[in-house]
Amino acid sequence: MYIVVTGAAGFIGSSLIRALNARGETRIVAIDSLSRADNFRNLVDCDIADYFDRDEFLPRLADGDFDDDISAMLHQGACSDTMETDGRFMLANNYRYSAALLQHCQDNDVPFLYASSASVYGAGTVFREERACESPLNVYSYSKWLFDQYVRRLLPDRTSQIAGFRYFNVYGPREGYKGRMASVVWHFFHQYRAAGKVQLFEGSGGYAAGEQRRDFVSIDDVVQVNLDFLDHSERSGIFNLGSGNATTFNAVATATINACRAAEGVAALPFEALHRAGAIEYIAFPAGLRDKYQSYTQADLGGLRASGYAAPMRDIEEGVAKCVQALLAQSAVNP
């Protein structure tokens, strides 16, 4: 029996495979699209049993090639570009493809864990897994929301586990391929290393520059939650997956810079001192982004805790410090 991981060459998918490998699990079928060949780098340190292109996998699944061979499916694959304007592509990729995978899992009693997104809440200020709190702002978030609705219809009559995780702002060391869509921690790290300063957006949504607040969650917590649910197939539903705390971009920038300074043997400085020294500066929003920007997010973890997941989430200083250490180690190997 094999565990299928879609989006396997991606940030979260490859992190899940590494964690499964650490458990001794190597019977993993990796699914992705390597139309950008350099994405293969996230799979180099992963042990897998086989790899299939995403467009090849679905027809083979429908033809019965994997019947009775799949023990679980971790569906992380999606187009995550929030500025994508091709709605037909987005819905085919994020909604219809996901629905086909889920239907196969339901027909064959296979647990299905999948990536949803906190973007479904739009500009709201209450982040509970309820229809009244959801209002997508772009076609990406709509595609994620639409699949969540599909799941909600199936949940009462499910034949096996279905668990969706609404990821908030996930950060970690394996996301370089994402370019401009990588987390601010990744961008801040590389900006500071290159120029000795980081750039944040100017104020928005009633918040001063850099004071917009997001729920930033470490990839380690995201992986831990997924594996915990994999071990508890009785848990089903749609769950927020964040830290449960809203942190300012100024605080994230400060944590990132100080983690870099610590690696250089230099003392940490408070935000005010870093700003005065020019290590933190502000830039205008890209055209078209301001009106679709979430200036505040904070996961309500009530549903996740009620499901039985009790482990604490890492705070921003701990999570960013570990991320920076991993990025520095990567830079030493690939300068």
What are the catalytic residues?
Answer: 140, 178
User: One-letter amino acid identity for 14?
Assistant: S
| Alpha-carbon distances, residue 69 vs 18, 27, 65, 171, 243 (angstroms) | 21, 10, 9, 33, 35
In sequence order, the 6+-apart residues with CB closer than 8 A to the CB of 29 are: 2, 3, 4, 5, 48, 49, 50, 51, 52, 66, 70
In sequence order, the 6+-apart residues with CB closer than 8 A to the CB of 21 are: 28, 46, 47
Contact status, residue 74 vs residue 14, Cβ threshold 8 Å: no
Instruction: Single out the residue of 61, 62, 101 nearest to residue 78, CA to CA.
Output: 101
CA 5 – CA 29 distance, rounded (Å) = 6
Instruction: DSSP letter for 138, please.
Output: S
Residue with tokens 């997941």: 309
Start-to-end CA span in the chain (Å)? 39
CA 65 – CA 86 distance, rounded (Å) = 32
CA 41 – CA 133 distance, rounded (Å) = 38
Instruction: Report, in this order, helix, strand and coil percent for the chain, each rounded to 5.
Output: 45, 15, 35
| Residues 21, 27, 28, 29, Cα dihedral to 10° | 160
